[in-house]
A = this chain, B = another copy of it.
Amino acid sequence: MSEWFDTKGKALSLDPANRGFQYGDGLFETIAIRGGKPRLWQSHLERLVKGCERLGLETTPDSLECVLDSALSGCEQDTSYCIAKIIVTAASGVRGYGRSAPSPGEIYVGVFPATPRDKNVYRDGVDTMLCETRLATGSPVAGLKTINRIEQVLASSECRAAGLFEGFTRDADDRLICGTISNVFIVTNNRIRTPSLDRCGVEGTMRRLVIDLLNDQGTGVEVCDLAEDDLAAADEVFITNSQMGAVPVRRCGDYEWDIGSTTHRVLGLLADFGIEECRA
């Protein structure tokens, strides 16, 4: 099913001394491949380069693009609709947590077949829950997509057990932060708000696009602290991620919402931008 590549061509195995495996010393991006091309590539690249700078990993945008292109062109499967995952880790070799910074980065690319979400997900919305698993707050890598995702593993396993589409995570101080695989937007009295991600959470590329598209139309999105009470008081809720665009949320635990005009407008803006999944 999967094809894993490194910078030297196809790589079916990994050195167990790899610092990503040993310490989570790395980052990743999960990119929607549509029509054989990486979607929102510049946004993914920007976050990855920012992450590499923060972690002190040497890479160049050119090398990242080149590895992805080569993986896609060398891929034996149909890449019209699939997912590419790029992982950048610190090179193997140094034992112990500390290393020189910057250190050389190692790039791995995996390409996987994908299945579009069912149309009724966009039409009817999805059911979610509030996860018990909390995100630690004040992370030195807040906003970035490091390999250190044990909190998301635990939270997402809760949704999986409950048979729900997604779960919302709060931080240790009860702030609403994001979904396990998505960012969340809340609409209340026509105000559109999304949680601040400066203490924990991942700044999604689709979140960025929604904020930018609304901003271009003169509609500001407030990035601020939010809590469960804000969910309870919301008129509409929707989630975003790079693979599915935006998806309306119908329910989170006991809270229920209609799919309102703002959510429909956001879906329309994304569809017009070229996020095909969001087309009605």
Report which A residues bind B (CB closer than 8 A). 2, 4, 11-25, 28, 55-56, 87, 90, 95-101, 108, 110, 112, 133-142, 146-161, 171-173, 180-181, 199-200
Is B138 touching A171 in the complex (CB atoms < 8 A)?
Answer: yes
Residues in chain B near residue A96, CB distance under 8 A? 156, 181
In the bound complex, CA of A20 to CA of B153 (Å): 11
Is B140 touching A97 in the complex (CB atoms < 8 A)?
Answer: no
Is A4 touching B17 in the complex (CB atoms < 8 A)?
Answer: yes
Residues in chain B near residue A16, CB distance under 8 A? 4, 11-14, 87, 108, 110
Is B141 touching A134 in the complex (CB atoms < 8 A)?
Answer: no
Is A147 touching B13 in the complex (CB atoms < 8 A)?
Answer: no
- Min Cβ gap A112→B in Å is 7
Is B11 touching A153 in the complex (CB atoms < 8 A)?
Answer: no
17 contacts between A and B (CB under 8 A): A11-B16, A18-B21, A20-B21, A21-B147, A25-B149, A98-B158, A98-B159, A99-B153, A100-B160, A101-B157, A133-B140, A134-B140, A136-B138, A136-B140, A136-B142, A136-B199, A147-B150
Residues in chain B near residue A141, CB distance under 8 A? 150-151, 154
Residues in chain B near residue A87, CB distance under 8 A? 16, 21-22
In the bound complex, CA of A96 to CA of B243 (Å): 12
Is B161 touching A100 in the complex (CB atoms < 8 A)?
Answer: yes
Is A157 touching B23 in the complex (CB atoms < 8 A)?
Answer: no
Residues in chain B near residue A98, CB distance under 8 A? 153, 156-160, 180
Residues in chain B near residue A55, CB distance under 8 A? 150, 153-154
Add 4 more A-B contacts to A55-B153, A90-B153, A98-B157 (CB < 8 A).
Answer: A14-B18, A22-B28, A136-B199, A138-B171
Q: Output the nearest chain B residue to A147 by Cβ-Cβ distance.
A: B24
In the bound complex, CA of A135 to CA of B97 (Å): 15
In the bound complex, CA of A95 to CA of B153 (Å): 11
Is A140 touching B151 in the complex (CB atoms < 8 A)?
Answer: yes
- Min Cβ gap A28→B in Å is 8
- Min Cβ gap A192→B in Å is 27
Q: Output the nearest chain B residue to A151 by Cβ-Cβ distance.
A: B140
In the bound complex, CA of A104 to CA of B173 (Å): 32
Residues in chain B near residue A172, CB distance under 8 A? 137-139, 199
Is B4 touching A150 in the complex (CB atoms < 8 A)?
Answer: no
